[in-house]
Structure 1
């Protein structure tokens, strides 16, 4: 109950200017099931970092749909989890082979600090 910010895990800190979006499908980019795509478009964002659970369901679905919409996708390898390692690894493989890049958190942070762009 309450606002989206109030329904987040109690240890998450929401800062002024943070963008919160709710999804009602496995993908955060499935048409009509999330407010995220228009929020990103309005801000001129062209790259998404995918983290969460489950790697092989919601995260992979989100990566696939984001890629289909023309966004650059980086699946954060150690920022996702599945019930089994083989499911997690298969999802990372699928994303890497067809939909985007896969990097560990430390490499993603290095890219952000350097202001680098990842080729599409």
Structure 2
């Protein structure tokens, strides 16, 4: 029998919960969500990353559930994929020419809708955007911020892969742009549990909130 895709063993340390509770009087920063002002941001769920299996495929059902519920409640779903850009001299120096080329092509080619992992259902009202930086919110490297602003979005639920690279970068920049940021703990994937948990610690401590899918579905 084939083993089901794995989910990370994620956690926030009790001392961090205690630290925030003592600071603001509650564990979670954002206790209410207004669906019409909320966007689910799905980062880099494309075959290049998801086809490796494991944690990347394990988060697919949770992302799909969040997308369905948020849409039904009047919210926005945004699919973000890597766009192609020629490797720069610095990227080649850092990664080597072969790996730099590989990552520059990681988002695939063709319409964005066809590049998202095939198990997801994409609706016509969803946003489909490319990014040419690790962050989906980096100025002039992705149109997401402008598109969300046009819809009056002030809250983003960050999901996808790789959690400690593009997802964390997106969460940090979204916070800088004054979004209410929530990293979905069991809808982000990294290579190892400790990589994800380091990201969750950083986001919860400084840039936003961290919650599992079940709690967000209840809030929506």
TM-score, normalisation: structure 2: 0.50
Tell me by how many angstroms 1:54 deviates: 1.3
Q: Which residue of 57, 60, 64 corresponds with 2:168? A: 60
Once residues 105 and 31 of structure 1 are traced to their aligned partners in structure 2, the CA distance between those partners, rounded to angstroms, is 29
Of structures 1 and 2, the larger Rg is shown by 2
Tell me by how many angstroms 1:108 deviates: 0.7
In structure 2, stretches of 5+ residues that fail to align are 1-108
Once residues 118 and 141 of structure 2 are traced to their aligned partners in structure 1, the CA distance between those partners, rounded to angstroms, is 25
Tell me by how many angstroms 1:53 deviates: 1.0
Alignment of 1:42 with 2:146, yes or no, is no
Tell me by how many angstroms 1:2 deviates: 2.1
Once residues 150 and 130 of structure 2 are traced to their aligned partners in structure 1, the CA distance between those partners, rounded to angstroms, is 17
Tell me by how many angstroms 1:10 deviates: 1.9
| Secondary structure of the structure 2 residue equivalent to 1:78 | strand
Tell me by how many angstroms 1:86 deviates: 0.8
- C-alpha RMSD of matched pairs (Å): 0.9
Which of 1 and 2 has higher RCO (CA within 8 Å, sep 6+)? 2
Once residues 65 and 39 of structure 1 are traced to their aligned partners in structure 2, the CA distance between those partners, rounded to angstroms, is 15
In structure 1, stretches of 5+ residues that fail to align are 113-120
Once residues 62 and 21 of structure 1 are traced to their aligned partners in structure 2, the CA distance between those partners, rounded to angstroms, is 14
Q: Deviations over 1:29-54 (max 9, x none)?
A: 01111110000000000000000111
Q: Deviations over 1:70-97 (max 9, x none)?
A: 0000000000011111111000000000
Once residues 164 and 171 of structure 2 are traced to their aligned partners in structure 1, the CA distance between those partners, rounded to angstroms, is 10
Aligned residue number for residue 192 of structure 2:
84
Aligned residue number for residue 96 of structure 1:
204
